[in-house]
Amino acid sequence: MKRVILAGLVLMVPVLAPWATAQQPEKVIAYLDKNADGKCDLNEYLGFQVARMAQVDKDGDGELNQGEFKDSLQGKAKANVAVLFKGANSEGGRTLSQKEFLGYQAWVFKTFVDTDKDAFMSQEEWTSIMSKAD
């Protein structure tokens, strides 16, 4: 499951910008850091995910069906989309609501992104995520 999550996190890179690499974590943090405190907290991360969900929602209905979610992924993550989708779908419906999508993203942040449990994604944590993707 960790590899699936990491694959999903790495897929954020093209969405952020072409420069969002392990070699430039300061740019990633600066891009996500809306209150300019030099850190990316959960709310800033989820704000990015709200915008990301809007991009993925091809039919504009405010929810993600499994196909929309799958189409947003690349590589190995596509093969595991059913497991991820089912785990995120707490209401048991045929789509993910924004609440479910953000709940899933909050879990990802708390479990896999914020490894030192200080409530922020640091440059070091971003670099670690990127190094595990290789």
Q: What is the pTM of this model?
A: 0.80
Q: Is the pLDDT of residue 14 over 50?
A: no
Q: What is the pLDDT of residue 72?
A: 66
Q: What is the CATH number of the domain that holds 10?
A: 1.10.238
Query: Cβ–Cβ contacts within 10 Å for residue 84, how many?
Result: 22
Task: Give pairs for 13-16: CB < 8 Å, separation 24+.
Answer: 13/130, 15/52, 15/55
| DSSP per position, 91-109 | T-SSEE-HHHHHHHHHHHI
Range(s) of the domain holding residue 118:
2-133
The answer to whether 96 and 84 are in contact (CB under 8 A) is no
Euclidean distance between CA atoms 10 and 8, whole angstroms: 5
Q: What is the pLDDT of residue 92?
A: 83
